[in-house]
Structure 1
Amino acid sequence: MRILMLGWEFPPFISGGLGTACYGLTKALDRRGHEVIFVLPKAVDRSHASHVKLVSPEGAPLSPAATPPLPHAGGAGARPAPAPLYAQRELALALGAVHYGLEGFTHTEFLGVPSWIRSTYTGARPVGGGRIIVVPGQPGHWTKVGEEWVYREVEGERAFDDPESQALRSAGVEPVADPQSGDAVPRAGADYSGDVIGESQRYARFVVRLCARERFDVIHAHDWMTYPAGVALARVTHRPLVCHIHSTEFDRSGEHVNQAIYDLERRGMHAAIRVIAVSMYTKSLCVRRYSVDPGKIEVVYNGIEQSIYQSVPEQRIGARDKIVLFLGRITMQKGPDYFVRAAKRVLEKMENVKFIVAGSGDMGRRMVELAAEMGIGHKVLFTGFLRGKDVERVFKMADCYVMPSVSEPFGIAPLEAISHDVPVIISKQSGVSEVLTHALKVDFWDIDEMANKILAVLRHPPLSRTLREHGQIEVRSLTWDGAAKKCEEVYEAAIRAMSERALVAV
């Protein structure tokens, strides 16, 4: 099967579980022989990606004549003949995109698209990334203005009634009428670090222009940032859209949702032929909060790579110290304040404990201040964002891992902790609690019970050993190959449903 994957994160460019999930699932699909075209809204920062292999960005681009025709609705269920990847590679390269492959991927190609925002959660800008302005209209031409590529219409002509522009409008993305307008071209000194909606729309314009004439069986869009692109591309290509829900605005923001993001999520879920939820917890939320038909939602649990971790030397902060670990974004959703407050309760009863908060986020400074206010600043260590070997080292140090999330659609970190032989305590308000039996579970808000469970793990070696040994057995059954197999079934169901719709339309 040929799958067009739309995602916002992929190693080495990750800020959380979304990138880890995209990597694991894509690699499993690749192992199973599927062709995957993965479009990312960022270029490769080679200084941080030694394992990235460029596929031939300097090679001769395909000629426009080689561009295959647009698929038609009647062929929605047919298996298209193979076509060269990125028939519009010349356009992609002109825009500053990078076409590349990764070691370990046989059937997968990646396209990195320059982006102003490295992560929708941190708001950071990419390192050394150029700016692009994509205007999906014809006729016209691309021209470079400073560090920006701008599409200029031919004088006196406006062409925004083409199928691509109509598809974009159906997804809530307006084609840019005037490249010189403030919406299209950034003003000098303008700060786009928080413009995630605008960045999502720019990504959608790029994807539609670049991929409308590619051939694929199904579109798989990960999380809300890619839904406008997925909806528009499905409209113009008549291919089935599958939206993968890794988190929702209610998970990230509680009841104080961003209405614009909520609307994008809802539009994507309703436009999709099939919806993948990472847990029953998330499926229930999609039904209750977004009014999605439960019959079209399939639950596909995340997995974990069973052999990715290498042995690293054990390190200790102090000879007698017990280590309790929080690893995740320091945001409201992840409950870091409950972790720090529970730490205070633990330290009232047990002195030789240190707490590590590994991660970054908008609550980072407040958590440092909170620990100081509670008089435990010397017992709580803040490491900042960790990656690679540093993550392995911190797991190696830990005697207990705690995930106190307020609302966690799934939660891959506890699986990683168990794989590192660390007992885990997890929030009951999480998807991973559905698949883990040998983990202690607590309501995120119950800091007294959280503290009691931490103390139980630290004080009672038999309990710790049982959680570790039986947890390892459970984790072995949660594989990305299993998740990929379920995704295949979802793809097949989506293709069948699309074919049935086409027949009814005829």
Structure 2
Amino acid sequence: MKVLMFGWEFPPHISGGLGTACYGLIKGLNVHNQEVIFVVPKLYGDEEPLADFVNASDVEVDYREKKFQDTWANLTYLEINSYLVPYLGQEEFEKYTDYTLHHRSDIEETVFSNKFEFSGKYGKNLMEEVARYALVATQIAKVKDHDLIHAHDWLAYPAAIAAKEISGKPFIAHIHATQFDRAGQGGASGPVYEIEKAGLRAADHILAVSHLTKKVVVEKYGVNPDKVSVLHNAVLDASIIKSEIQKHVPEKIVTFLGRITYQKGPEYFVEAAKKVIQRDPNVRFVMAGNGDLLNKMVERVAELGMGTKFHFTGFLKGKDVDDMYAISDVYVMPSVSEPFGIAPLEAVRHNTPVIISKQSGVAEVLRNAIKIDFWDVDAMADAIFGLLHYPSIAKMFKELGSEELKNLKWEHVAAKLVTVYEKLHNQKP
């Protein structure tokens, strides 16, 4: 099977879990001898050679050709006046955007007579790049032989739709997060939602990263449940990491590591921290990450008088992430709506017991973790306190969690995906 796959980032140049998931999935597909043509807006040259990579910045298109004109006529994009991450919340997203429909008369013809240098980032020209990416996809689908199309999240859906129109091959939409996750169950609207909806409806099949996400796709986007398969994420390596790093503080450390946005529930972590410190002041809390709620969280910590016991690290990556997991005594993911959530699996790899919200997809596969409702700060505080003060309980979760990881490998996920590929490929048009 030869798969034409569209994504927006690939390790080592990533800003979140989407690129990591693409990496793991491609590694798993390699185990099952699947050929992948992986298209990204920008390659840096240091990517691991796991696929037939195509750098969209190297592909030349000529707008005078009708196929490009037809594609462009169907595309809209945003003018974005602030840098953003791929899963920005609705309120923050709308604050920085101006939705504009662009016709051919708005664009110089010469722009499309040569290559376009994509930034590969989530910056002020994001939606313009999404639209141009679809133009490039039109050319790639014409010249690259493939059996089906696989696209990751809304950023790549217009490209997949354009590729399908050219090649006629089946299109699989892989959804890692919906606009309802980012904006809340009642707040999804605007251009990102419309792109997402168009992609899901145009797809011949949809892959959801959890049953939780499938439920949203069916109920909020009006998709037939028979069209959706659940494909849980996994870990790149199931082995337990033994770190040599040492803590430089005597207190126990409780960590939140993720985007500091509505979706991740940072405010509930802060409120639970206060309750724990009231019972035991010898605990330090860490919030690692960036996001639109960062300043609000800093202000709330100060208001609660926890400034000496609460630390904000900013965005961490690479070894710093590993070190943070390693020195943590408890990892907490209190997400309000988490399609999956790979971070708890990474925490388990570092032999750190985890507390996760019941509103997360990872709760479907990680059985040996304490699960609480995101809003129940009393239960969260009790769980944190229990893991810190009852070593036998923490030890049990560490041991059972490490065993559980052995079944959460990307090669197992890829085996299920190959079955979906074959079924879709063998269906009669």
TM-score interval (norm. to shorter)? 0.7 to 0.9
Pick aligned residue for 1:374 from 304, 307, 315: 304
Deviation at 1:193, TM superposition (A): 3.0
Alignment of 1:384 onto 2:314: yes
Q: Displacement, 1:489? A: 1.1
- Over 3 Å counting, the alpha-carbon distance change for 1:236 and 1:356 in structure 2 is same
Partner of 1:218: 148
> Which residue in the other structure is 2:221 paired with?
290
Q: CA-to-partner distance for each residue in 1:135-187, whole Å, 9 max, x for gaps? A: 6523xxxxxxxxxxxxxxxxxxxx5xx24443555566877455438x9999x
Residue 48 of structure 2 corresponds to: 102
Matched positions, count: 397
Secondary structure at the counterpart of residue 289 of structure 1: helix
Q: 2:63 aligns with which of 112, 137, 151?
A: 137
Out of 396, 415, 421, which is 2:351 matched to?
A: 421
Unpaired segments of 5 or more residues in structure 1? 47-51, 53-100, 115-131, 139-158, 187-191, 502-506
- When structure 1 is superposed on structure 2, of 480-489 and 255-264 the one drifting more is 255-264
C-alpha contact 2:3 2:150 (8 A) present in aligned 1? yes
**Counterpart residue number, 1:277:** 208
Shift of 1:466: 0.8
Aligned residue identity for 1:102:
E
Equivalent pair of 1:2/1:217 in contact (CA under 8 Å) = yes
Q: Residue in 1 aligned with 2:174?
A: 244
Q: Distance in 1 between matches of 2:353 and 2:379?
A: 16
Instruction: Give CA-to-partner distance per residue, 1:69-97, whole Å, 9 cap, x none.
Output: xxxxxxxxxxxxxxxxxxxxxxxxxxxxx
Q: Of 261, 277, 297, which aligns to 1:347?
A: 277
- How far did 1:211 drift? 3.5
User: Does the CA-based 8 Å contact 1:436-1:474 persist in structure 2?
Assistant: yes
Distance between the aligned counterparts of 2:296 and 2:380, measured in 1? 21
Q: What is the aligned partner in structure 1 of residue 127 from structure 2?
A: 197
Aligned 8 A contact 1:205 1:229 in 2: yes
**Partner AA of 1:180 in structure 2:** E
Matched, 1:456 2:386: yes
TM-score, scaled to structure 1: 0.74
User: Take 1:24 and 1:40, find their aligned partners in 2: how far apart are those partners?
Assistant: 16
Task: Quote the offset at 1:315 in angstroms.
Answer: 1.8
Q: 1:315 aligns with which of 221, 224, 246?
A: 246
In structure 2, the CA distance between the partners of 1:24 and 1:309, relative to structure 1 (3 Å rule), is: farther
Q: Deviations over 1:331-379 (max 9, x none)?
A: 1111111111111111010111111111112222222222112111221
Q: How far did 1:31 drift?
A: 2.6
User: Secondary structure in 1 aligned to 2:15?
Assistant: coil
Q: Distance in 2 between matches of 1:412 and 1:195?
A: 28
Q: CA RMSD in A?
A: 2.5
Equivalent AA in structure 2 for residue 137 of structure 1:
Y
Matched, 1:300 2:234: no
Task: Judge conservation of contact 2:175–2:208 (CA < 8 Å) in 1.
Answer: yes
Q: Which residue of 1 aligns with 2:162?
A: 232
Q: How far apart in 2 are the matches of 1:418 and 1:269? A: 33
Q: Deviations over 1:370-401 (max 9, x none)?
A: 21121112211111111221111111101111
Verify the 8 A CA contact 2:63 2:112 in the aligned structure 1.
Answer: no
**Residue-by-residue CA offset, 1:121-144 (whole Å, 9 max, x unaligned):** xxxxxxxxxxx9986523xxxxxx
1:128 match: none
Say which structure is richer in helix.
2
Pick one of 308, 328, 332 that aligns with 1:402.
Answer: 332
Report what 1:4 is aligned to. 4
Matching of residue 112 in structure 1 with residue 55 in structure 2: yes
- Counterpart residue number, 1:357: 287
Equivalent position of 1:20 in the other structure: 20
> Is the partner of 2:308 in helix, strand or coil?
helix
Deviations 1:186-229 (A, max 9, x none): 9xxxxx93443332112111222233221011111000000001
Aligned residue among 89, 103, 108 for 1:180: 108
Q: Does the 8 Å contact 1:136/1:165 carry over to 2? A: no
Task: Go from structure 1 to structure 2 and tell me whether the alpha carbon gap of 1:350 and 1:134 turns closer, same or farther (over 3 Å shift).
Answer: farther
Looking at structure 2, the residues matched to 488 and 455 of structure 1 have their Cα atoms a distance apart, in angstroms, of 44
Aligned counterpart in structure 1 of residue 70 of structure 2, from 166, 172, 175: 166
Match of 1:440 among 370, 379, 391: 370
Partners of 1:367 and 1:134 lie apart in 2 by 46
From the superposition, tell whether residues 340 and 113 of structure 1 become closer, same or farther in structure 2 (CA, over 3 Å): farther
Higher mean C-alpha displacement, 236-245 vs 385-394 = 385-394
Q: Name the counterpart of 1:393.
A: 323
1:493 to 1:172, Cα distance in 2 relative to 1, 3 A: farther
Whether contact under 8 Å (1:136, 1:175) holds in the other structure is no
Instruction: Report how far residue 448 of structure 1 moved.
Output: 1.2
- Asked whether the 8 Å contact 1:135–1:175 carries over to 2, the reply is no
Q: Distance in 2 between matches of 1:429 and 1:492?
A: 32
Runs of 4+ in 1 over 6 A off after TM superposition: 132-135, 171-175, 183-186
CA distance in 1 between counterparts of 2:209 and 2:245 reads 33
Q: Is 1:207 the counterpart of 2:137 in the alignment? A: yes
The alpha-carbon distance between structure 1 residues 270 and 333, as it changes in their structure 2 partners (threshold 3 A), is same
Q: What TM-score, normalized by structure 2, do the two folds share? A: 0.86
